[in-house]
Structure 1
Amino acid sequence: MLAQGLPEAPGRSLMRSLIRPVVRPRPVLPGEREKRGGPAFEYEYIAPRSPELQPIHQRVREADLLHHLPEVEAIDGLFLLPYALRFVTAECEQFGAFYVPATHEVVLCYETLEVLYERGEQLREDNGFDAGYPQRYALANLRFIVLHETGHALIHLLDLPVTGRQEDAVDQLATMLMLHFAGTDESPQQVAENLRMAANWFLVRSTGAYNLDAYADEHALGEQRYFNLQCLLYGSDPVRLVDTVTDGDLPPARAQRCPQEAQQIKRAWLRLLLPHLAPKYEMSEAEANHYLEQQQRERERHGQRPYVRGPAPATAP
């Protein structure tokens, strides 16, 4: 079960989280330190009543798991929010995650972590994947789910305009954040694998047979969400990710427009969010794109090495 695999062990996972480089939009320049950032996120791991969920609660609390998700860490304090956004884990008596506007909380259910790990374990057994696959699968989907709900929170707190279904919009934002705000110690291949595992979950939850309620739901069908995510992933780097098409994960007819679609969505979210950056992190669209390109180059450098380089030791004065 999840308590045995997510995280690996409290001490090891916590240390690995602590050494992950903190991603920020850009360094604070001299003379800017007096400028304020946005309200820092708050985190709470609520103890469950069910004994079987206690080990999961202990692991995520000791690892401070939500606080150390790379994309959440990257945007913590970035926006001038009217209220502090809270990230909470709790027992919900069902699979799920949701945003609560009244309390400004993104809530992740312990049951969700358990189900995701079990699904990863099933995929490992069915496909002969390595022993670490269930944990990677659970964490990849955890990141996407939390970022999806964070999208709802940002739309509410920043009063962002949305045309079309909000559920589609926050799927797009979650994908953009995982593409562009993943840890710089993650290679482009790891980023792509994370998003492919998140896309897989959409198919797992699909039945292939739907009634009118499914077609009328605020969420797109699982198959549609799967292909939309694959399109944004492929469109972000068509040369590197050509196997998305050649392996049959994305039909060629859809793939033709994906580079343009990915660029449009990236530009749209930048233009929506940049006006809400806290004074400490204010930047133009050109500066934001330059920063994202720098982050991508850093991930590419890590992808070319069989090891991860830590920060240089301080030199004696």
Structure 2
Amino acid sequence: MRNPGRVDPAPQAWADALRAVVQVRRGHPHVSARPAPPPFEYVYRPPRSHDLQAIHERVLEADLLQRLPEVQAIDGMFALPRRLRYVTQECGEFGAFYRPADAEVVLCYETLRTLYERGQDQQRASRLAEDHPLRYTRANIRFIVLHETGHALVHLLDLPVTGRQEDAVDQLAAILMLRFAGVEETPAEVIANLRMAANWMLSDSTGAYDLEAYAAEHALGEQRYFNLQCLIYGTDPDSFAGMVDTGDLTAQRARGCARETRLISRAWLRLLLPHLAPGYEIYEDEAARYLEQ
């Protein structure tokens, strides 16, 4: 059994790297006098449909988007050229997306409803804890919103992505969840959230696909699932050795996951460090030493 008090090496290394290369240098003579970036904005748009009104009222009362710990952590961290807005709204269908023209990350009320219903189905089928539907919904909201935030950062910071962007922002979402967990969350709870997000990727799995599915911008749900499982396994292969036995990961893929997790973390660190906002200044030599390890 995994020790819930143990700190996973990969996310801890990412945290240590940030602490090593990012310094608060107020008043330092070499810090540029650039203005601070605008803070994120959070908007909960009223739905037209009566059956979504209760969901709107709950997310508005909870200030759902602003209270996501990972979003809180990166609010103001990057020198964005314009304000990034987080929005909940009625969409007419399940979904979430980034709207470049308005710099908006949009989460649909229909998505919240569908996620909660799936959590209820799992609770009934497996006799899970009473709070499982809410935990399942929240875990998936965090991953989905961070996935779309990845699209926003790629667009607003003009970050290079040489592969499939959908895969890249899946990776960033996982890294942010590993790095910026809630203050009271244990590493075990963080991993549980990621595994619930991975579970959702299999929700529409049929095992049989047509040409349109293979040509889609997203990888197949099974591929996204195993990619995320590899990132989880790669944080601590010893503690997660059982994932291979349970079929959550193949032995062949597992052998390279620690290296894959490390390379992905380093790549995103390298991409994002040059865009840190004032107050998060970089010591270039320390950054270079870490990235050469």
Shorter-chain TM band: 0.7 to 0.9
Task: Tell me if 1:211 matches 2:207.
Answer: no
In the TM superposition, what whole-angstrom CA distance separates every residue of 1:261-296 from its partner, at most 9, and x where no partner exists?
000000000000000001211234857999xxxxxx
Deviates further, 174-183 or 187-196: 174-183
| Paired amino acid for 2:270 | R
Distance 1:112 1:288 in 2: 42
Establish whether residue 31 from structure 1 lines up as the match of residue 20 from structure 2: no
Which residue identity lines up with residue 102 of structure 2 in the other structure? T
CA contact (8 A) 1:37 1:281 kept: no
Structure 1 residues 85-234: aligned runs within 5 Å? 85-234=84-233
Please tell me whether the aligned partners of residues 172 and 265 of structure 1 are also in contact (alpha carbons under 8 angstroms). Answer: yes
Partner of 1:278: 277
Q: CA deviation at 1:206?
A: 1.6
Q: Secondary structure at the match of 2:279?
A: helix
TM-score for both structures, normalised by structure 2 = 0.86
Residues 283 and 241 of structure 1: CA distance in aligned 2, closer, same or farther (over 3 Å):
farther
- Contact persistence 1:39–1:79 (CA under 8 A): no
Q: Deviations over 1:157-193 (max 9, x none)?
A: 0000001110011111101111111123110100000
Distance between the aligned counterparts of 2:25 and 2:69, measured in 1?
23
CA-to-aligned-CA distance 1:203-244 (integer Å, 9 cap, x gap) = 112221100000011100000000000001110121222232
Could you tell me whether the CA contact under 8 Å between 1:99 and 1:149 is conserved in 2? yes
Deviation of residue 30 (structure 1)? 5.6
**In structure 1, what is the Cα distance between the partners aligned to 2:187 and 2:241?**
14
Instruction: Note closer, same or farther for the CA distance 1:196–1:182 as it changes in structure 2 (3 Å cut).
Output: same
Contact 2:23–2:281 (8 Å) recurs in 1? no
Is residue 36–residue 280 contact of structure 1 (8 Å, CA) maintained in 2? Answer: no
1:253 aligns with 252
Matched residue type, 2:27: G
Q: Which amino acid aligns with 1:191?
A: V
By how many angstroms is 1:36 displaced?
A: 4.8
SS at match of 2:193: helix
Determine the structure 1 residue equivalent to 2:3: none
Determine helix, strand or coil for the equivalent of 2:86: strand
SS of the equivalent of 2:42 reads strand
- Residues 289 and 144 of structure 1, relative CA distance in 2, 3 Å threshold: farther
Q: What TM-score does the superposition give when structure 1 sets the normalisation length?
A: 0.80
Structure 1 Cα separation of the partners of residues 131 and 23 of structure 2:
35
Aligned AA (2:45) = I
* Aligned equivalents of 1:241, 1:31: Cα separation in 2: 45
Pairs within 5 Å for 1:36-55: 36-55=35-54
How many aligned positions are there?
A: 267
1:89-113 per-residue CA deviation (whole Å, 9 max, x = no partner) reads 0000100000000000000000000
Letter in 2 for 1:212: L
Partners of 2:75 and 2:149 in 1: how far apart?
A: 11
CA distance in 1, matches of 2:262, 2:36: 28
Gap change, CA 1:181 and 1:288, over 3 Å in 2: farther
Instruction: State the distance in 2 between where 1:89 and 1:43 align.
Output: 9
Q: Which amino acid aligns with 2:236?
A: D
- Write the distance in 1 (CA, Å) between the matches of 2:75 and 2:211: 40
In structure 2, the gaps of 5 or more residues are 1-17
Pairwise CA RMSD = 2.1
Question: In the alignment, is the contact (CA less than 8 A) between 2:70 and 2:180 conserved in 1?
Answer: yes
- The Cα of 1:31 is off from its aligned counterpart by 3.2
Tell me how far apart the structure 2 counterparts of residues 283 and 182 of structure 1 sit (CA, whole Å).
23
Which residue identity does 1:218 align to in structure 2? Answer: E
Residues 231 and 257 of structure 2 are in contact (CA less than 8 Å); yes or no, is this contact kept in structure 1?
Answer: yes
Q: For the Cα contact (< 8 Å) 2:116–2:134, is it kept in 1?
A: yes
Deviations 1:122-152 (A, max 9, x none): 0011111100111000000000000000000
| Structure 2 CA distance for partners of 1:284 and 1:224, relative to 1, 3 Å | farther
Gaps of 5+ in 1: 1-23, 291-317
